[in-house]
Amino acid sequence: MRGIAILGSTGSIGRQAIEVLSLHPDKFYVTALTAHKNADLLFEQVRALRPRMAALTGEEIPVPADLSFCQFCFGPDSLEKVARECEGQDVLAAVVGVAGLKAVMAARKAGKRILLANKETLVAGGEMVMQACPETEDGPTLLPVDSEHSAIFQCLQGADGNPYEKILLTASGGPFRTWEKERIQKATVAEAMGHPTWNMGAKITIDSASMFNKALEIIEAKWLFAARPEQIQVLIHPQSIVHSAIQFRDGAVIAQMGAPDMKVPILYAMSYPERLQTGARELDLPALGMLTFENPDLKKFPSIQMAYDALKTGGAAACVLNAANEEAAGAFLKGEIPFGRIYEIVDFALQKHGHLPARNLSDIDYADALARETARKML
Ligand code: NDP
Ligand code: MG
């Protein structure tokens, strides 16, 4: 039995994680659950799964009397506390934003294995996080949940130790793939929330529309697979069936495919190297008929180039990109800025603070705070 703590259990990934692990009660049990504000759903989940610990990172509220078997913690530090003190071997990091970074570091210090959906953590703290997550005799201490990175990880299982030449990182292209640049600049929240193939939380849905999601994923791939930036090629693949691929020096390409369903990479991270039933729909290739691929339009989506530039700059540049994007995407969701302004805000923050160092957590905190302050001033 593996004990799993789910940080961000009320979110899109958290809820799907509960759904798939509940299919295998003989393999997994839940040790802890956390939410930010959604206390009603958190209480319901605690009632059903009976973890020993739970946290609400927002305000403290009274806990229903029938949940007295569970230790509740409140406030921003409670995420780290749960990550550090929960029972079991695994921590699924499924909170949104850089808010997950300290909890991931705390979980690693306590010897937990990290199942990482929370890509912002790796984007902001890449070097530090990877140093804390070495490969051990028992296998990896960090397993990707993001579908593309899970795909690359799965492809590497077939590499027999051969180095890859190139990562083909696929992207659906989001709802604005076929739009003209001028129209994208003025897109509304409802239009940006209409993702063609994936149903996800609000922030990642906006990131998919701006393609900052793919920018974050380029950086995530660099750290997870020790890739040089020029080894990562983004490919637009609107059907979201090929979740990514790797190419070898002999010209062979190994790809991982499947119907778009996050339950597959979530459960694979939990059960690796075993494969278990997920309830995902079977891939029906004849029904699809055709899979298409195209290069991304870097003029329409400047986010992609910003990721490569941030990797070239190194230090805290990726952290600044992430922080400014979190602020800009949040402001767009609240209707405070037009869609096109997201790119300007991130670009300006990168110009201003992109050269800061990222040697440790306090450097990262500092760069993150400065980038947010600059982004907010531009709103
Ligand atoms: P959601 O917005 O659906 O859920 C986020 C979760 O984190 C919720 O439980 C939320 O609690 C909690 N949370 C929000 N803010 C904070 C905070 N400041 N501190 C602590 N907890 C917080 O997001 P998703 O599930 O879509 O995404 C989670 C992560 O997984 C993101 O990093 C995303 O990029 C990544 N990911 C998501 C995919 C998807 O399909 N959804 C695919 C690949 C990666 P509450 O409900 O109370 O607000
Ligand atoms: Mg992804």
Atom of ligand 1 nearest to the CA of 119: 32
pLDDT in tens, 60-70: 999 999 999 99
Phi-psi region of 174 (alpha: psi -120 to 50; beta: other; left: phi over 0): left
pLDDT of 230 > 90? The answer is: yes
Contact assessment for residue 93 and residue 123, using Cβ atoms and an 8 Å cutoff = no
- The per-residue pLDDT for 24 is 98
Least distant ligand from the CA of 262: 1
Q: Per 3-state DSSP, what percentage of the chain is helix, strand, and coil (rounded to 5)?
A: 45, 15, 40
Q: Please state the pTM of the whole predicted model.
A: 0.98
Q: Which two tokens stand for residue 335?
A: 């209707």
User: How many Å lie between the centroid of ligand 1 and the Cα of residue 198?
Assistant: 14
Which residues on neighbouring strands pair with residue 139, listed in sequence order? Answer: 136
Give the model's confidence band at 11: pLDDT under 50 very low, under 70 low, under 90 confident, else very high: very high
Ligand 1 pocket test: which of 170, 204, 322 has the largest number of ligand atoms within 8 Å of its C-beta? Answer: 204
In single-letter form, the type of residue at position 240 comes to: S
Q: How many residues does the chain have?
A: 379
User: How many Å lie between the centroid of ligand 1 and the Cα of residue 69?
Assistant: 26
- The per-residue pLDDT for 195 is 83
- The per-residue pLDDT for 87 is 97
pLDDT of 153 > 90? The answer is: yes
Give the model's confidence band at 311: pLDDT under 50 very low, under 70 low, under 90 confident, else very high: very high
d(CA 161, CA 42): 42
- The per-residue pLDDT for 342 is 98
Q: Is 13 in the pocket of ligand 1 (CB under 6 A)?
A: yes
User: How many Å lie between the centroid of ligand 2 and the Cα of residue 148?
Assistant: 5
Q: Is 118 in the pocket of ligand 1 (CB under 6 A)?
A: yes
Tokens 């605690």 appear where? 46
Q: SS3 of 264, please? A: helix
Ligand 1 pocket test: which of 95, 150, 266 has the largest number of ligand atoms within 8 Å of its C-beta? Answer: 95
In single-letter form, the type of residue at position 76 comes to: P
pLDDT in tens, 20-46: 999 999 999 999 999 999 999 999 999
- The per-residue pLDDT for 174 is 96
Phi and psi torsions of 243, nearest 5°: -85, -15
Q: Is 14 in the pocket of ligand 1 (CB under 6 A)?
A: yes
pLDDT in tens, 98-143: 999 999 999 999 999 999 999 999 999 999 999 999 999 999 999 9
Please state the rounded mean pLDDT for residues 73-83: 97
Atom of ligand 1 nearest to the CA of 262: 40
Please state the rounded mean pLDDT for residues 159-166: 96
Q: In what order do the strands lie in the sheet with 253-257?
A: 232-236, 166-171, 242-247, 253-257
